[in-house]
Amino acid sequence: MIRKLIFVAILLVVSAYYIINRNEPIASWHLINVNYGRLQGDANLLVVGDINIMIDAGYAQEAKAEVLPYLQKLGIQKIDHFFISHPHRDHYEGLAAILDSGISISNLYYKIPAPEIEDCCYDKKHFLKFIHYAKDHGSTLFSPKTGFKLDINQDVSLELLHAQEGNLANEKLDVNDLSLIMKLTLSNGTTVLFPGDLNRKLGQHLTGDTRMRADFLKMPHHGLVGIAPNSFFETVDPDFVLVPGPKHLWCSQRGAQAREWTNINRVPTWTNGINGHITVDFMRDKAIISPERVGDSCELENN
């Protein structure tokens, strides 16, 4: 009798634990809106249990105005892993703003472009100031290579699918094409591709690479001209797209390629500049997309 009661008690505890936890997301992706005014940027927050991961954080002022209040609202006091997709200011400057707010960054991942890479918007000295600033604040520095995998817990992993080291054999690349291309994979099979600012040349090179297939796509390069080709998008074959870009760019001729591709293929799409902050909660049996603002209209602008 006692054994039976103990068994029933254990069963009730296990059942209650399952019921409670099935209502909790396996992971959450927050596409924080640092895209307003005339500037674009990336700021991705991944919350997996008590582990917090960021991929980029926008320009410094935009991070202060948007990223910090967002993190503080969630009660986040530490970032366990911070990935700089590539060294352009609209992706890495927010790093210092986060540190200045008292939020710690335990591990920092980044790549220094090869010497032969030519890019008008890359300033190595400026970039290294931010890397050294993080190190001075206690961050451990890593330079990951293709194949690096972060097993966050038993349900979630983040893998570096491609980390371009330099120019292609017959093509000169810019810093955008050196973006860390990462894939989030959940135990229920759901996947998210974070391709940084992947551009046309490397995007063409990666077309047909089945590793790029994903259910969710963070639109590369804010959806702007020079973006990866449609053949790359067809390789990814996403069910949903989230765009880190301001409305005036997404709705202009500069955003026409990506915008028209999502329209023609009827891929549900959310854009920071239209929808504000966007959260995706990955449950065990579904994903819930919660934009800050509802709306999908896009009147063509002449920028």
- In angstroms, the CA 247 to CA 243 distance is 10
- In angstroms, the CA 181 to CA 163 distance is 7
Task: For CA atoms 271, 275, 277, 279, give the dihedral sign.
Answer: negative
Nearest-5° Cα angle at 60, 290 to 86: 80
Q: Among 87-96, 256-265, 287-296, where is mean pLDDT lowest?
A: 287-296
The confidence score (pLDDT) of residue 2 equals 55
The confidence score (pLDDT) of residue 38 equals 80
Give 135-152 pLDDT, tens digit per residue.
Answer: 999 999 999 999 999 999
Residues belonging to the chain? 303
Q: What is the dihedral of CA 238, 27, 198, 207, to 10 degrees?
A: -40
274 Cβ neighbours under 8 A, 6+ residues apart: 247, 250, 293, 295, 296, 297, 298
The confidence score (pLDDT) of residue 112 equals 96
For residue 1, name the pLDDT band (cuts at 50, 70, 90): low
- What is the pTM (predicted TM-score) of this model? 0.91
As a whole number, the mean pLDDT across the chain is 92
Tokens of 63: 């991070």
Give 228-260 pLDDT, tens digit per residue.
Answer: 999 999 999 999 999 999 999 999 999 999 999
Judge residue 289's burial from the number of C-beta atoms within 10 Å of its C-beta, 0-12 exposed, 13-18 middle, 19 or more buried.
Answer: middle
Residue 3 has pLDDT above 70, yes or no: no
Secondary element (H or E) of residue 74? none
Mean pLDDT computed over 48-52? 98
Judge residue 13's burial from the number of C-beta atoms within 10 Å of its C-beta, 0-12 exposed, 13-18 middle, 19 or more buried.
Answer: exposed
291 Cβ neighbours under 8 A, 6+ residues apart: 270, 275, 276, 277, 278, 279
The confidence score (pLDDT) of residue 295 equals 76
Give 152-206 pLDDT, tens digit per residue.
Answer: 999 999 999 999 999 999 899 999 999 999 999 999 999 999 999 999 999 999 9
Task: Give me the domains of the chain, ranges plus CATH numbers.
Answer: 24-291 (3.60.15.10)
Asked whether 129 and 95 are in contact (CB, 8 A), the reply is no
For residue 5, name the pLDDT band (cuts at 50, 70, 90): very low
